[in-house]
Homo-oligomer: A and B are copies of this chain.
Amino acid sequence: MTGTPPRVGILGGGQLARMLTQAGHRLGLDITVLEAFADSPAEQVGARALVGDWSDPDTRDRFAAQVDLITLENEFVDHRALAAFEALGRPVRPGPAALAIIQDKLRQKQALAAAGLPVPPFRPVSEAADLLSAGREFGWPLVLKARRLGYDGKGNATLGGAAEAADAVARLGRDDPEAIYVEAFYPFRHELSVLVVRGLDGATVAYGPVRTIQEDHICRFVIAPAALEARVAARAVAVAVGAVEAVGAIGVVGVELFLGADGEILVNELAPRPHNSGHYTLDACVTSQFENHWRAVLGWPLGDPALLSPAAMANLLGARDGPARPAGLDAALAVPGVHIHLYGKREVRRGRKMGHLNAVAPTPEEALARARRAAQAIVL
């Protein structure tokens, strides 16, 4: 680079944009977020902010005038908006083609399967009869999934048997024959995540596998490293890197994996952006996922993902609705090795991600115990 700070844009101003902004300012980037409301988490930490809607052409023009390169914190950006930014000469990274694949979970699964990567059995469905046929072939339970816009378990239904098929198709399928697909339910031992960083030149680095613990389909805890035999960990990384290469994404991609009873690794799904399962990297790795995302999308050399200490992350979720009033931070900070990361959201809602905390410790088990203890001390 040659002397002018890169002007980068982020679609969205939430917590991922906030942490991207903090990492980007250290690198001297000129950062603007496009968000529907003012006082966003990213704006609070000094991102320039354009308040507006990316579906509006005038807003897009104004945003494009302020930035040379666009990335995102949320993969559900309408493909027409992405195409419009590219037409304005503003590359969008992870890349429109990769996003088009990832936004449609059926296409995503098809791309992974076509690349020879292990995924649960799946197939398109359009009506209840297709589900019954899938049930006969894959066995029950089945997981019916919306192809688009699902996250944190929203848009998924686990069906115990044929009797539940018609209702679920009506609810998730919304009379659109292309809205849903079905997967075999995979009886995983644990859920894992591997963060892959893929540079503009196709080079990749990967953070080692972590275990994610979900409750009510929302990630509650992450443990780094996951307790895995070396060959299983290596397989998880190889599969994750293969998945990111199969879709051709640039930047950080969170690759959610299933670990089977005998150490099998299957791909669950991809999130083409910094990922909740990678927040531990802020306090435990040589390079955070946020710094590495900027390095990748700017075409700069990727940073070392090595883990400096075992760590655990706990999400800090809202337990009520109303104005946010975080309390108990001092008690949480009395737990050794704990670091708190609040997102600045003014309103708390039940289950809303208000922040997270990381704990480092001599062992992953101790890190998890510390993270649990500290998280219990905080009232949001």
Judging by beta carbons under 8 Å apart, are B337 and A304 in contact?
A: yes
Q: Contacting A28 at CB < 8 Å: which of B27, B43, B326?
A: B326
Chain B residues, Cβ within 8 Å of A327: 1-3
Give the contacting residue for A22; candidates B1, B25, B330, B379; CB below 8 A.
Answer: B25
Contact with B along A39-54 (1 / 0, CB 8 A): 0000111110000000
A residues 332-355 with Cβ under 8 Å of B? Answer: 333-334, 336-337, 339-342, 344, 355
CA distance A39 to B295 in the complex (A): 26
In the complex, the answer to whether B325 meets A28 with C-beta atoms within 8 Å is no
Complex interface: chain B residues within 8 A of A308 (CB): 308-309, 360
Chain B min CB distance to A292 (Å): 10
B25, A45: Cβ atoms closer than 8 Å: yes
Q: Which of B22, B291, B301, B326 contacts A45 (CB 8 A)?
A: B22
Proximity bits, A169-213, B CB within 8 Å = 1, else 0? 000000000000000000000000000000000000000000000
Q: Which of B28, B330, B379 contacts A301 (CB 8 A)?
A: B330
Contact indicator B328/A1 (Cβ below 8 Å): yes
How far apart sit A344 and B325, CA to CA, in the bound complex (Å)? Answer: 32
In the bound complex, what is the Cα–Cα distance between A372 and B301 (angstroms)?
Answer: 18
A162 located at the interface, meaning its Cβ lies under 8 Å from any Cβ of chain B in the complex: no
**Interface presence of A136 (CB below 8 A):** no
A292-309 toward B: CB 8 Å interface, digit per residue (1/0)? Answer: 000100111101100011
Q: Is the CB of A344 within 8 A of B28?
A: yes
- Residue on B with the closest CB to A287? B339
> What is the CA–CA distance of A87 and B144 in the complex, to the nearest angstrom?
66
Q: Is A28 a contact partner of B304 (Cβ separation < 8 A)?
A: no
Asked whether, in the complex, the Cβ of B339 is within 8 Å of the Cβ of A26, the reply is yes
Q: Are A329 and B28 in contact (CB under 8 A)?
A: yes
A309→B344 CA distance, assembly (Å): 31
Residue of B nearest to A284 (CB): B308
Contacts A309-B286, A336-B304, A337-B286; A44 near B25 (Cβ below 8 A): yes
Among all A-B residue pairs, the 5 with the closest Cβ atoms? A3-B325, A46-B46, A28-B342, A301-B334, A45-B46
Q: A3-B327, A26-B339 are known contacts; what are 8 more A-B pairs with Cβ within 8 Å?
A: A22-B22, A22-B25, A28-B326, A45-B46, A46-B47, A286-B309, A287-B339, A301-B330
